[in-house]
Structure 1
C-alpha cells in the first residue's frame, strides 16, 4: 500500500461504526469503541540486530509520511507515550482499550482528534519484542487516551 491507500483506510475507518464484539476486521481488529488497521505488516524473521533496526526505520519513515499528510488535514499531532499505560497495566490496573492492548507493543503514537467525527486517530509502529512482527498501525477510537 502507498500513502494514498493508507489515508483511504483511515478515512473509511473514521466513517465506519465500531464492532459490538472484539475480533478481526477486514483491515485488522476492533471492538466496542475502536478499530485498529495494520497499514503495513511483516514478520521480518531475518531481521535481527541491524536488519531489525533498518526495518523499524522504514516503518517509522512510512509513519512520518502519514503524519505529514494528516498534519496538513488536522494540524500538528500530540505525541503520546504509552509507557505509563503499560506500567499501569502490568501493575494490574484494568486499562481502557485500545490503549491498554497497544501499550504492550507500541511505545508511542502520534494522535489527532478528527474534527469531522470527534474520534481519536493515532498512528504508531508496533515493535517491542523480537517475536512481535513490525506493523504500522492506525487506530481510530472514541476512547480518550489515558
Structure 2
C-alpha cells in the first residue's frame, strides 16, 4: 500500500517533486487517484460521476485505515489559508486543494492523512495521501 511506503520512507532534507508526489523536510504527499481534468467544460453528469468515483475510493480507504488504526481525527485546513503565518508542508499544499484532512497516528512522531481536493473546477479531483511529522500539526489537533 502506498501509505505504508510513505510511512516507512525517511523525509528528505530538500523539497522534491516527482509527478503527482512531493516530499520534503517532515512530509510526503501523494496523489493516489485523480479524475480527468474538466477544461472542456463537461456536463454536470461527467463531473458528478468523477466526484462519486473519487469519493468511493476515499470512503473505501478511510474504512480500511479506520479498521487498522481506529477512528480518524478531522483537521480543518481552512485556517491555514488565512493565518497570515507560514504554514508548513504538507498542510499548505493540502489547504489549497481541500478544506478537511482526516488523520491517523499509526507511528510515534508521524501522522498519515487522507483528503479529497481540487485546485479549481477545471482541474482533476484528487484523492490525496499525506504523511507528516507530528510537529507539523497544530497543538490542538
Q: Which category of TM-score, normalised to the shorter sequence, fits these structures?
A: 0.7 to 0.9
Runs of 4 or more, structure 1, over 6 Å off, are none
Report what 1:83 is aligned to.
78
Mean alpha-carbon deviation: is it higher for 49-58 or for 31-40?
Answer: 49-58
Identify unmatched segments of 5+ residues in structure 2. none
Contact 2:37–2:122 under 8 Å retained in 1: no
Q: CA deviation at 1:76?
A: 0.4
Q: CA deviation at 1:128?
A: 4.3
- TM-score normalised by L of structure 1: 0.82
Counterpart check, 1:118 vs 2:109: yes
- TM-score normalised by L of structure 2: 0.84
Residue 87 of structure 2 aligns to a residue in which SS? Answer: coil
Identify unmatched segments of 5+ residues in structure 1. 1-7
1:49-81 Cα offsets, whole Å, 9 max, x none, are 442233122212111110100011100001122
1:11-57 Cα offsets, whole Å, 9 max, x none, are 01100101211121476111111001111123332545442233122
CA RMSD, Structure 1 to Structure 2 (Å): 1.9
